[in-house]
Amino acid sequence: MKKLLLSAAAAAILASSASVSANSRTAILAGDMDNWQEAAAVSLFKQLNADGTVIAAGETDKISADNLDCIWIHIDRIGAGKGNLPAEFSNEAVIAALTKFVNDGGCLYLSKHATQLLTKIGRVDPKFEVNIYGDGDGGKGTDVWTVNAQIGYWFVQDENSDHYDPSQYYDHRTHPLFDGMATNNDFSCETFGLLGTGDGTEMHREDHNCMWDFNAYQYTAEGKNTVEKFENENNAVVLGAWGHVVDHACAGIIEFLPRILSRDEAVAQPGRIIANGLAAYELAPRSGVNGSKANIEKLTDNAIKYLAKNATTTAIAEVGAENADAPREYFNLQGIRVNSDALIPGIYFVRQGAKTSKVIVK
């Protein structure tokens, strides 16, 4: 079924530098074109998706799962203030359209300050809103900022240590988001470089994080650590943290999976969301040449293609009749089928006809 959702061009793997592909079911919700960071996002999107749609402010009618599988929203402004999203991204009409888009199976790629939209569209409880935030002038530096996809590496870096526990280590380097990205070895484990010249010379970084400090939240879900608790409570997967972070303290990139709100309800938000709030994900440095520019482009292209491929909008149109009358079968994380009338809160796989989703029951 997935093969039906992709054109041949969209399925092609890019070379190390970004190239143009054809995917008319992708879009970017454009921001302030006088803002060099947001203008750079539109430029990159058009470079990666020649047939994609640029949705201008006020064109709310274009935010529709009938025509689109994935929408990228990039917000990156100096001095905006936490919680003060620009009106063109947060007015009532846009929020309603984005909420419906995800509810209809469309996927979102939210980057930098746009990660705050997670609470606006109801995907994340306000108690889990981003709490590591920056929008200042930044400064110059010579180091390379990276993303670490080996969550909890501290628990496996030394087999002879008292804290050795492979069950608390989550290696996401093979996730499609990181496919084809060059690696960096400046830290204790392999990471992916995103920002820095790489040759020891200076470059300016805005330092605009908009991400999650896991130690600051109150959880109701069970888990071995804060990462598992957050994932279990939000039906999510923590894909990346700051390059130097090897414990479970924070997250910079999270994938929010399709979810269900109650045992009696169909999937309430079948659309996936990848939220990337890393300061290292900077599209247009004001000075200096980013030696990891190809990784920035690759990660962006991977995110859009992955989400477009996993949207349920086209799948529903093509096999809707096949799945509509099929019974919903629930399986626990061990793959054992469970009675849908006796579900307890937790994460389940739900199969309906040819379609399978991972959902959370509260």
Q: How many residues does the chain have?
A: 362
Q: Does the pLDDT at position 361 exceed 80?
A: no
Query: Could you count the other beta carbons within 10 Å of the beta carbon of residue 34?
Result: 7
252 vs 257: CA distance, rounded Å: 16
pLDDT averaged over the chain? Answer: 87
Q: What tens digit of pLDDT does each residue of 291-314 get?
A: 999 999 999 999 999 999 998 764
Q: What is the CA radius of gyration of the chain?
A: 20
Provide the Cα torsion 291, 53, 130, 250; round to 10°. Answer: -40
CB 164 within 8 A of CB 152: no
Which two tokens mark 2?
A: 């997935």
Give the model's pLDDT for residue 336.
Answer: 63
Range with the poorest average pLDDT among 100-109, 133-142, 307-316? 307-316
Secondary structure of residue 355 in the 3-state scheme = strand
85 vs 135: CA distance, rounded Å: 12
**Could you tell me what percent of the chain has a pLDDT over 90?**
74
- Of 249, 209, 196, 257, whose CA–CA distance to 232 is shortest? 257
Give the model's pLDDT for residue 355.
Answer: 63
Give the model's pLDDT for residue 357.
Answer: 66
Provide the Cα torsion 321, 236, 344, 226; round to 10°. Answer: 180
Position 11 confidence tier, pLDDT thresholds 50, 70, 90: very low
Give the model's pLDDT for residue 284.
Answer: 97
357 compared with 31, residue with greater pLDDT: 31
Antiparallel, parallel or unpaired: β 253-256 and 250-251: unpaired
CB 130 within 8 A of CB 186: no
Which two tokens mark 74?
A: 């990039």
Task: Read off the pTM.
Answer: 0.82
Give the model's pLDDT for residue 325.
Answer: 65
Average pLDDT for 3-18:
30
Give the model's pLDDT for residue 353.
Answer: 64
Give the model's pLDDT for residue 323.
Answer: 54
Average pLDDT for 273-301:
97
Would you give the DSSP letter of residue 113? Answer: G
87 vs 94: CA distance, rounded Å: 9
DSSP labels, 159-182? TTSTT--GGG-EE-TTSGGGTTPP
- Of 144, 119, 268, 122, whose CA–CA distance to 205 is shortest? 144
Q: Does the pLDDT at position 264 exceed 50?
A: no
346 compared with 125, residue with greater pLDDT: 125
Average pLDDT for 263-270:
57
277 vs 116: CA distance, rounded Å: 9
Q: Does the pLDDT at position 279 exceed 80?
A: yes
Q: Does the pLDDT at position 265 exceed 80?
A: no
Phi-psi label, residue 209: left if phi above 0, alpha if psi -120 to 50, beta otherwise: beta
